[in-house]
Amino acid sequence: MNINIAVLLTCFNRKELTLSCLEMLSKQDVNNLSIDIFLVDDGCTDGTGVAVKERFENVNVISGDGNLFWNGGMRLAWNTALKEGYDFYLWINDDSLIYPYAISKVLKASQQLVANGENPGAIIGTMVDPISKNPTYGGRLCNSRFNPISFGGVIQPSVSAVECDFINGNFTLIPADSVKKIGILSNAFTHGMGDFDYGLRLKKAGFTCWVAPGVFGECEGNSEKGGCKDANLSATERVKKMQQLSQLPPVDEWKYFVRQHGGFIWPLLWFKAFIRGKYPYFWVLLRAKKI
């Protein structure tokens, strides 16, 4: 039986990374799979969209307005793919270089979970650092008995699938049944937290989230050096960094997230977010660390 998969990506001004990602996608071993690629060019000024059209004629390039960021761009790609309808939707970050067997392997993991009587809503392929080979993105567990949104580290992939609480969006397979039940990424988020929110929504709807066996590709992790928690920077510099979407989700979006998923301690988490918005200098002084 032929299985249809829509690959969803969004990009902004990192042409070489995007082209490298698509090059690795073109080398996939996809026997008996039908794959369509939907890429949002969110107002790139470095010629990414043009370069993609020239080198990869099979990629559906969708124009964004330059203000979509990750969550908005992925929503646009996903909504476009939904017009056709697919068996699976695969999120890929355009800075992830996936291995040639990645798509067929994550699909096999999904099929095995179903055969085992599970109800997988998302299956994640772990990304590792290109040099150290340590996991950088994948699934995570909650590391607190009292705080349901206390994020543990990236799970070390095993020889068998491992259930997880939180999902990164770097390489994540979403079955069509998940979309039928909970829809797509929430429009409550601009850039970050949309993937974590989606995984938690899946769990509330009765699905499970899984880290597939093995490693699926390479992607550098985001360093905290030079960011809002870096004590080597002045407080003023760190406060400026806080306003960047790549650093922290906006306060109102974080308040929404903790209200939805923070369990019985959500008021405390909401108040901490309030403090960040009201007294940013106090927040950075508390969170500063030597990096």
CATH of 3-218, one of 3.90.550.60, 3.40.50.300, 3.40.640.10, 3.20.20.190: 3.90.550.60
pLDDT at 29: 81
Phi, psi of 192 (to 5 degrees): -85, 170
pLDDT tens across 24-61, in order? 999 998 888 999 999 999 999 999 999 999 999 999 99
pLDDT at 124: 98
Average pLDDT, the chain: 95
pLDDT value of position 9: 98
- 100-127 pLDDT tens trace: 999 999 999 999 999 999 999 999 999 9
How would DSSP label each residue in 30-82? -TTEEEEEEEEE-S-SSSHHHHHHHH-TTEEEEE--S--HHHHHHHHHHHHHH
With tokens 């690795």, the residue in question is 24
Which pLDDT belongs to residue 1? 64
- Hey, which bits of the chain come out as E strands? 3-11, 33-41, 59-63, 88-92, 97-98, 120-128, 135-137, 139-142, 151-154, 162-164, 166-167, 171-175, 208-218
Reported as a single tens digit per residue, the pLDDT across 189-236 is 999 999 999 999 999 999 999 999 999 999 999 888 888 888 889 999
